[in-house]
Structure 1
Amino acid sequence: MKCMTARKKKFSELPPRSRAAIIVGALIQFALQGAALRDIKKRPADQIKGPKPLWVGLSFVNYFGPIAYFLVGRKSD
């Protein structure tokens, strides 16, 4: 039997809807990460649960990191 492996498609070979979805997803990720990093930088350390460097690192975990920071990383005002 032949081993059938699917070759990876180039971005330009994807259907327009798939390309649009990837672009929108990337923009959302960059916006979330940018907002989280900006907030971490401006917020005093005593208003953040845990060390700032931890949250900076976690903000690079796609979607999960920035959302986790906004939901659980900030102390209530």
Structure 2
Amino acid sequence: MRKKHDRKKTWKELSPLARFGTIAGAAIQLALLVAAQRDISRRPAEEIRGSKALWRAATLVNFVGPGCYFIFGRKRLPGTT
């Protein structure tokens, strides 16, 4: 059982720095999601490891999904580093 002092803070109770951090984190997460979804749409299926539908679903998982897609989901083309 939670005690009264253990309750979560409301938005108004957060410090300005905590509010900025929350907004910045959300913006970065959204940017990664959009970038991954656009890349999946534009990249041919032959250049993606696994199915596009699976990667689309995986990118919805916070920072982890888009990060995994960019690291593991795209095939490296010959001649690129």
The TM-score with structure 2 as length reference comes to 0.87
Give distance in 2, aligned partners of 1:49 and 1:38.
16
- Show CA shifts across 1:11-51 (max 9, x none): 12100111000000000000000000000000011100000
- What are the ranges of 5 or more consecutive residues in structure 1 without an aligned counterpart? none
Match of 1:19 in 2: 19
Match of 1:75? 75
Q: How many aligned residue pairs are there? A: 75
Aligned to 1:4: 3
SS at match of 1:76: coil
Larger deviation, residues 7-16 vs 52-61 = 7-16
| Long gaps (5+) in structure 2 | none
Q: TM-score, normalised by structure 1?
A: 0.91
Quote the residue 2:47 is aligned against: 47
- Pairwise CA RMSD: 1.1
What letter corresponds to residue 38 of structure 1 in structure 2?
Answer: R
Aligned-pair identity in percent equals 48
State how far apart, in whole Å, the 1-side matches of 2:50 and 2:18 are. Answer: 38
Q: Distance in 2 between matches of 1:31 and 1:46?
A: 25
